[in-house]
Structure 1
Amino acid sequence: MQSDGNARRSRERMMDRPNIVWIVGEDCPPRFGCYGDEPASTPNIDALAAHAVVFEQAYSAAPVCAPSRFSLLTGVVPEAHGPAHHMRAEAPLPPWMTTYPEVLRALGYYCTNNAKTDYNAAVDEARIWDECSPHGHWRGRGGDQPFLAVFNFDDTHESALFRDLPREVDPAAVRVPAYLPDCEDIRHEFSDYYSVIRRFDGFVGDLVAQLAEDGLTDSTVVLLSSDHGGVNPRSKRHCYEEGLHVPLIVAAPDAYAGALPHRGTRVPTPVSTVSIPATIIEFARGEVPGHMQVPGLTRRECRAEDMAFSARDRMDERYDMVRTVRDARFRYIRNFMPHRPCGQHVSFAWLGAGYQAWEREFLAGRLTDAQRRFFQPRPEAELYDLVDDPDEVVNLAGDPRYREHEERLARALREHMLAVGDNGFLPEGAAAEGYGPSRRPGAYDLARLLDLADVATARRPENAAPLAAQLDDPDPVVRRWAALGLVMLGRQAAPALAALDARFGTETDDAVRVALAEALAAVSPDPGPALDHLVDAATVGGRRPIRLEALSALTALDPRSLTGRVHEIGASAADPDPYIAGAAAYLALRIEGRYTPGTVLPPWSGIDFRAAR
């Protein structure tokens, strides 16, 4: 009888836990009626939101899928566990980094994922899910077992815009942001995306109807979100509002609604989607693992001073390092590689008509100052007032009237980077990458690197000597960022020529040598050896990160200096690595003067996206 009583109490505890359905629209910004988007037609999502808590200012950890999805699985920001912060990497997952479905399965939940994973980590999907396939559904469970069912809607992916779509919204009705040229291709791209959002709305309506058919409406919490922001130019891959702002709607039935603000509440303060794993565990009445870095949203007061942090690192073939923080009104952006423009060519993104049109207008000289900035080097810091300037075109950084806001947000961002152990200053593939390795004593002096980056990104000529003095530091990460600081100075790094030459002759670290070679290519009276090294590093077999760094360095140079090396570079356009192939093909075409914004580069040249589903 004692065992029967224990079994009954166990069943009662399980019945006391809600079912959870999490609906994720891939690459989907909050262009819904319930978010005030006038051209949108989203009756099902709006009906769900009417009886839910709507988080008006929810932000993803990264403006692209794989790093963001790492955080959605683990509750750890990707930059805390390199290389998860880089696009299409595979971070080793330590055994203690328990994922949220593992926690729920231990509580007796039946857990399914349908079907995208893209976790940017070495994850055994069969170990963390009861089913992970296009057939994953709560209906596969046994009896009254509580369930967690994740449904990913892929049709909202960026690639939808590479196909012919029904135009259900008049292009004249869309609003073109001030940072984009108001031209036909861009209006059509914005207009076309509403048709895939309408499909997503139908998908949501079908799932809600299935819950009702199965009598599960009153026992199921429904979450709706996206992995990151939108797909139009300067959104996905970029740390602006359009790239990071996501929908977040949480609808809880009466029995579980007390964990949140009242239904129908709209929460105006910033929250991070990194909080979703902990939120799900809290709904299931489980214990949130200590490594999850952002508290859940249940039983938590959202305060006016709350902030959301996000990051960008390598996107496909292009390296960058951007960190940003958003409070209730302002967004502060810290560009750690300001010498590279936002608009570095990414071969997949340029399959979209919007990017092609934007670059065509740039090359034709028809852009405003705000529109051409995308293709130019950046300031080290940006600050935007999102109330007065929702398109983020008026940079307030350095304006004395906004000094308090800039300093407050810059301080908060630095404290956050230190708190999470941000791996961003490490070259991809470094031995110190990862949550554990980067925290070993002496492995990674993040505070010192932050200070060094402040000197490097300031790009002041008087900093050439202090940067040159650190080229002989025992730490290769310090040497690399000192060299990058000289790269950022360009020809103004000439006073450091002797130090650069000397270090280049003795340096053994590949990542440091690439940075030294790029700096020397700008200031040396004989740049031949530096160029030879960069071409060899880019084209001769070696680790992908080094080849991509070298290709980026070569792309930043005057293409006329590489005329005699175009065949070596062009040969890598056939490389089996798609990122190497795309970067090399782009560079070769630039050298030959044959590049146009509409050129389809490997490996995409053989794929007919318009014939896809």
Structure 2
Amino acid sequence: MRSLLSLLSFLVLGPSLLAAPPNVLFIASDDMRPQLGCYGDATVKSPNLDALARRGMLFQRSYVQQALCSPSRISMLSGRYPATTGIFEIGRTLRTTMPDITTLPQHFKNNGYHTRSLGKIYHVGIDDEASWTVPAWHSQKPRTSAATQESVRKFYADAKARGVEVPQRGKGSRTGAIPAFEAVDCADEDLLDGDTAVNAITQLKEHAKNPAQPFFLAVGFANPHVPWISPKKYWDQYDRSKFTLATNEFLPKNAPDFAATSGQDFRGYANVPEGDLPEPFKRECLHGYYAAISYVDAQVGRILAALEETGLAKNTIVVFWSDHGYYMGEHTWWGAKHNNYEGATRNCLIVATPDMKHAGARTDALAQSVDLAPTLTELCGLPASSGFQGRSLKPVLDDPATQVNDAAFSWYPKAGWLGTAMRTDKWRFVEWTKTGEAPVHELYNMEQDPENNLNVAGKAENAQTIETLSKRLREKFPVQEFKDPGPGVKKKGKGKKKQP
């Protein structure tokens, strides 16, 4: 159908007026909070992403729909809220709950695009075949040093010899043989993310041979997800004595006990001490995280350089997106997300088009990950999809002062409760619901308390605000009961195992 429309357009308009459809290069990073130079961080070394922001638009208030890898990615790639997908955990594929859905990349594929996934786009082992023209590709290179790989092999051999079953998480798990951070004396491509960049460059060179074929190329990096492991040269860029530690090392005050928690993936790693972390160790963690960001930044730079060298940049939309925020000491949480607070739900988002009207602009417009599906659809001139639930950000790209959203929404289940968060200009409001229980609320004044240190929902003067926000929230999203998918759900994803 697209080919026929292109032919008709050519016959009617002539070759001079027939523009080739834009390509899309979508780059994702795991667990990267907005801690880049272009977001105002003076310590991190991120020259390539900073350069992308200078030729694109940086969204300062972008939010994911759940602060957990798989649900966040499924929401973004489907263009649907978790309230619609029904997926709030890692394990199930999208088509478990929505078998007939058309995803964002699938919509492009159905309209003549070659779509391909390299690295972590959907969660590893929880992919979606229908989204891609060819099967998703994952590097088989390790994330760790040879010495650590040997430790993992010995760990499994010892467990097998003792007849011990290795748990998925905790100190006795596989991660117990892997350090939380490591500087590896190796080339970029010796580790997983560098190898992913090499493959992405190869794909771009292949696409350059057939510029008439539009593509949607998604490239996903595993860093800076714990373990924070990268080539030594990125560690050498930093002096950890100059790092600034979090100043709010306490839980959100007056918050419900079940809500003021966060998963701490890195606690199960080999070199992490029990209890409170000593300051030198905190600085090592930050060192590893900064180095991992710089490692990803360098890979992005290599890919963008290839885009220019192949001539594809002049007709390619570039999106850089991270799947959620992250905590590195704030609220006592390290290597963590897993909640509805600002630090967990705010992510990186940079969009650069070949014809940017406001290159280098920074916008305060509220943006959501579900907005990317309608945005890219409109930018590429594809027919709209009625299933996409977000709003196109094209008006913001045309005018950074424009607002298309009056709020951004996020979800998280905890202890049988389902929390729905609404981020407005002034407030972060969370309503927790559970069958048989009265709703529980959190309210944070984002103008006075941007780090969500004090829940003011219990103050009498905020009663009317809570009533107004609750009504507004539930007019858009009626109360939804959280349904636990049951034990063993994390084991249901099929695919190649993640490399250590």
Same fold (TM over 0.5): yes
Question: Mapping of 1:178-189 within 5 angstroms?
Answer: 178-180=248-250, 183-184=278-279, 185-189=281-285
1:306 counterpart residue number = 406
* Shift of residue 293, structure 1, vs aligned partner: 0.8
> Alignment partner of 1:206: what SS?
helix
- Displacement of 1:66: 0.5
1:154 corresponds to: 222
CA distance in 2, matches of 1:4, 1:404: 56
SS at match of 2:314: helix
Contact 1:67 1:120 in 2 (8 A): no
**Percent of aligned pairs with the same residue?**
25
In the TM superposition, what whole-angstrom CA distance separates every residue of 1:494-541 from its partner, at most 9, and x where no partner exists? xxxxxxxxxxxxxxxxxxxxxxxxxxxxxxxxxxxxxxxxxxxxxxxx
Counterpart selection for 1:41 from 37, 40, 45: 45
Q: Which amino acid aligns with 1:266?
A: R
Partner of 1:176: 246
Q: Distance in 2 between matches of 1:49 and 1:270?
A: 17
Deviation for aligned residue 1:244? 0.8
CA distance in 2, matches of 1:27, 1:170: 21
Whether 2:428 is the aligned partner of 1:331: answer yes
Amino acid corresponding to residue 344 of structure 2 in structure 1: G
* Cα 1:121–1:295 shift into 2, 3 Å: farther
Please state whether the residue corresponding to 1:321 is helix, strand or coil.
strand
One-letter amino acid matched to 2:455: N
User: Structure 1 residue 193: deviation in Å?
Assistant: 0.6
Q: Does 1:73 align with 2:73?
A: no
1:289 to 361, 373, 385: 385
RMSD: 3.7
Report if the CA contact (8 A) 1:169-1:194 is conserved: no
Q: What per-residue deviation string (whole Å, max 9, x for no partner) do you get for residues 240-295 of structure 1?
A: 111111011111122xx35xxx2222111321111112211111111221111111
Distance 2:471 2:245 in 1: 35
The partner residue of 1:425 within 459, 462, 481 is: 481
* 3-state SS in 2 of match to 1:132: coil
* Cα-to-partner distance string for 1:282-322 (whole Å, 9 max, x where unaligned): 111112211111112113574297210000126xxx75522
Where do residues 6-405 of structure 1 align in structure 2 (5 Å cutoff)?
6=8, 8=10, 15-82=19-86, 84-91=87-94, 92=96, 94=98, 96-118=100-122, 124-125=128-129, 128-134=132-138, 135=199, 137-141=203-207, 143-144=210-211, 145-160=213-228, 166=235, 168-180=238-250, 183-184=278-279, 185-230=281-326, 232=328, 233=333, 235-254=336-355, 257=356, 262-299=358-395, 302-303=402-403, 306-313=406-413, 320-336=417-433, 380-405=440-465
Distance in 2 between the 1:14 and 1:119 partners?
38
Superposed displacement of residue 50, structure 1: 1.3
Assess, with a 3 A threshold, how the Cα gap between structure 1 residues 390 and 133 changes in structure 2: closer, same or farther: same
* In 1: Cα distance, 2:446 partner to 2:283 partner: 23
User: SS state of the match for residue 103, structure 1?
Assistant: helix
Q: Does the 8 Å contact 2:106/2:130 carry over to 1?
A: no
Alpha-carbon distance, 1:20 to partner:
1.2
Aligned equivalents of 2:243 and 2:126: distance in 1? 44
- Mark the CA change 1:237 to 1:125 in structure 2 (over 3 Å): closer, same or farther: same
* Contact 1:171–1:188 (8 Å) recurs in 2: no
| Counterparts of 2:385 and 2:129, CA distance in 1 | 19
Residue 208 of structure 1 and its aligned partner are, at CA, apart by: 1.0
Would you say the 8 A contact 1:179–1:391 is kept in 2? no
Counterpart secondary structure, 1:208: helix
Distance 1:172 1:4, change over 3 A: closer
* Alignment check: 8 A CA contact 1:23 1:150 kept: yes
Q: Deviations over 1:229-248 (max 9, x none)?
A: 12532741111111111011
- Work out the CA distance in 2 between the residues paired with 1:3 and 1:331: 46
The alpha carbon displacement at 1:203 in A equals 1.2
Contact 1:268–1:328 (CA under 8 A) maintained in structure 2: no
The alpha-carbon deviation at position 226 of structure 1 amounts to 0.5
Q: Using the TM superposition, give the Cα deviation of residue 171 of structure 1 relative to its aligned residue in structure 2, in angstroms.
A: 4.8
Amino acid at match of 2:44: A
Q: Where in structure 1 are there 5+ consecutive unaligned residues?
A: 341-378, 430-542, 549-576, 580-606
- Match of 1:158, SS state, is coil
Question: Helix, strand or coil: the match of 2:43?
Answer: coil
Q: What's the offset of the Cα at 1:426?
A: 4.3
Cα distance 1:225–1:396, how it changes in 2: closer, same or farther (>3 A)?
same
CA distance, structure 1, for counterparts of residue 395 and residue 63 of structure 2: 20
Instruction: Look up the equivalent residue of 2:420 and give its one-letter code.
Output: R
Counterpart amino acid of residue 248 in structure 1: L
2:148 — aligned with what? none
Q: Which runs of 5+ in 2 are unaligned?
A: 139-198, 251-275
* CA contact 1:383–1:395 (8 Å) conserved in 2: yes
1:41-77 deviation line (CA, Å, top 9, x unaligned):
1111111111211110000010011001111211011
- Measure the CA separation in 1 of the matches of 2:108 and 2:365: 28
Residues 281, 411 of structure 1: CA spacing in aligned structure 2 closer, same or farther, 3 A cutoff? same
- Cα deviation for residue 131 of structure 1 reads 4.9
Describe the shift of the 1:425–1:275 C-alpha distance in structure 2 as closer, same or farther (beyond 3 A): same
- What is the distance in 1 between the residues matched to 2:242 and 2:219? 33
Q: Which amino acid aligns with 1:48?
A: L
* Equivalent-residue separation in structure 2 for 1:176 and 1:339 (angstroms): 38
The letter for the 2-side match of 1:139 is: K
* AA aligned opposite 2:219: F
Distance 2:134 2:379 in 1: 19
**Aligned-residue offset at 1:403:** 3.9
- 8 A Cα contact 1:179 1:393, kept in partner: no
Instruction: Single out whichever of 104-113 and 45-54 deviates more from structure 2.
Output: 104-113
More strand by share: 2
Counterpart Cα distance in 1 of 2:431 and 2:241: 34
- Supply the distance in 1 between the matched residues of 2:308 and 2:352 (Cα, whole angstroms): 14
C-alpha separation between the residues in 1 aligned to 2:76 and 2:109? Answer: 17
CA distance in 1 between partners of 2:287 and 2:433 (Å): 34
Please report how far the alpha carbon of residue 172 of structure 1 lies from its aligned counterpart in structure 2 after TM superposition.
4.6
Q: 1:249 to 1:39 in 2, by over 3 A?
A: same
Counterpart Cα distance in 1 of 2:9 and 2:26: 29
Cα gap change, 1:337 to 1:124, in 2 (>3 Å): closer
Secondary structure of 2:430's partner? strand
Q: Deviations over 1:529-570 (max 9, x none)?
A: xxxxxxxxxxxxxx527xx9xxxxxxxxxxxxxxxxxxxxxx
Alignment of 1:553-592 (within 5 A): none
Identify the range of structure 1 (124-133 vs 49-58) with the bigger mean alpha-carbon deviation.
124-133
More helix by share: 1
Q: Secondary structure at the match of 2:477?
A: helix
How many Å separate the matches in 2 of 1:117 and 1:177? Answer: 33
8 Å CA contact 1:70, 1:120 repeated in 2: no
Cα contact 2:105–2:131 (8 A) shared by 1: no
Distance 1:319 1:160, change over 3 A: farther
Counterpart amino acid of residue 158 in structure 1: V
Distance in 1 (CA, whole Å) between partners of 2:216 and 2:374 is 14
